[in-house]
Structure 1
């Protein structure tokens, strides 16, 4: 059966729409479900969660912008995730989860067999939530884990919490994309993240836009990319107190590294599998749709157009 997508943004969902969504989920005829910013009753949210639990086709679920608005809904979502086996990508950006919400979701997230991409940006998280998130980065392929993580705009996380995350990233065997933009990290945490990047064999994209960095951080990253081979391909430093010259130097060095890798792959011929490009999910407050490349835990990929 061909699978499709359901995308609705910022609407009050009618009973008929909820029924259509639930029927499609239960029939496993939908691969992408986005109800970003939509209004629905607690009863209808529960119906959708039961549909998610029964679906064998759903790969991407977008509940951004307050759809998961209470601890009761968080519990319903957790139960759905425990039963679901197909979901690869979960967007909860802009949900008031707090640490208690992550405690509720953690069991389902940590045991889900397919989940590889998670957006918890602007979810009012703190150190306890970060501690649990670190458990989603298994070291050395011990089990499947996250390849993409967004933690944008969670200012309640302390320096200790970010330090814990940096250590987990350094030991992660799978993480490829990490978005930490609009958190008050500062140069100290940026230095720890530079060590994480140097240690990681997989991290390709690091977004540090608007995180309170200065030329001190940029110089550390410049020294790293100049002197140590890493997997990093994209480093976002916009909206920081960093000179354009330093940003350009870093960008040029990262570009050179990617070009050299591509040439090496071509020289070795067809026996080498091309490096998989990072599945970077840019987040935006605009209502325009964006093309998003998602990657499954089995190495499959699909191109989905969704509103972030």
Structure 2
């Protein structure tokens, strides 16, 4: 029998329901477990984590909306990820992990507790730490997940939305790491107080990167000064960037449209070149990165925040 799914939203889970969930995990009969906004005791959360650690069928784990609510639960989740860090080769080829902890009150201490499980995970490709109350200590750890060219593979997608405690020093450190990252394709920094100074650093990072395709700077306190720098970059220098989000900033619509038009033209030109090289076949991939999906690949989705779109979009 093919593994199924358990999806529960906003309920208080009883001991009997927790037992059923854990039994299903241990029997490898669950592919998707979603307990969004559910209430359960610390003891029962630990039982679920032990089930996750033992499961070889689980591909998506959704603990959104405050389920991971304390440092104790963070540590339990970290232990589960350390144990269930990859699926055996005879079960799946090239497993991938998408970890979404959006909206969890991790603080720097929480990321310190999770760091080993995340940074050493052989399949981690996407990490969402938006609205997790992170600071500069956490940024230093995150930069370690963006290794430079020639090093081990790192994150392909990173979300750090709405983390206002990160300072200019932290953002500058991240910009340097992004410039030299060998894998990063998508970077979401929306709703942080970046300002024009950090935006200028990010423009340099984008122009140096050979992989970054999507940069989200919505609501980050930018002005026309930043937009002019990005316009000059995309107009005069080669870049992999295909999507730049500048909404909800003090930037004129005209400048935003100019940048968008230039990026669209660059993408169309690349598609034409790709089609010519392949005899009229399909050009470049879509700009927003998703893991490869085929009959022999599987992804593990770990969510405990607000980033539900990945759960809906990820193909098994």
**Cα shift at 1:115:** 1.3
Q: 1:194 aligns with which of 199, 203, 209?
A: 203
SS of 1:13 mapped into structure 2 = coil
SS of 2:9 mapped into structure 1 = coil
User: How many residue pairs get matched?
Assistant: 294
User: What is the aligned partner in structure 2 of residue 185 from structure 1?
Assistant: 194
SS of 1:152 mapped into structure 2 = coil
Q: 1:171 aligns with which of 162, 167, 180?
A: 180
User: What is the aligned partner in structure 2 of residue 287 from structure 1?
Assistant: none
**Cα shift at 1:269:** 1.1
SS of 1:230 mapped into structure 2 = coil
User: What is the aligned partner in structure 2 of residue 100 from structure 1?
Assistant: 109
Q: 1:117 aligns with which of 126, 143, 160?
A: 126
How has the CA–CA distance of structure 1 residues 77 and 295 changed in structure 2, closer, same or farther, with 3 Å as cutoff?
farther
- RMSD of aligned C-alpha atoms? 2.5
**Cα shift at 1:24:** 3.1
Q: TM-score, normalised by structure 1?
A: 0.88
Mean alpha-carbon deviation: is it higher for 64-73 or for 271-280? 271-280
**Cα shift at 1:158:** 0.3
**Cα shift at 1:231:** 1.3
Q: TM-score, normalised by structure 2?
A: 0.86
**Distance in 2 between the 1:275 and 1:29 partners?**
37
Query: Relative contact order (C-alpha < 8 Å, sep 6+): which is higher?
Result: 2
How has the CA–CA distance of structure 1 residues 214 and 120 changed in structure 2, closer, same or farther, with 3 Å as cutoff?
same
SS of 2:32 mapped into structure 1 = strand
Q: Is the 8 A contact 1:110 1:136 kept in 2?
A: yes
SS of 2:141 mapped into structure 1 = helix
Q: 1:258 aligns with which of 257, 260, 267?
A: 267
| Unaligned segments of structure 2, at least 5 residues | 88-95, 300-309
The higher radius of gyration belongs to: 2
How has the CA–CA distance of structure 1 residues 134 and 271 changed in structure 2, closer, same or farther, with 3 Å as cutoff?
farther
| Unaligned segments of structure 1, at least 5 residues | 281-292
How has the CA–CA distance of structure 1 residues 214 and 11 changed in structure 2, closer, same or farther, with 3 Å as cutoff?
same
User: What is the aligned partner in structure 2 of residue 242 from structure 1?
Assistant: 251
SS of 1:33 mapped into structure 2 = strand
**Cα shift at 1:273:** 7.9
**Cα shift at 1:2:** 3.0
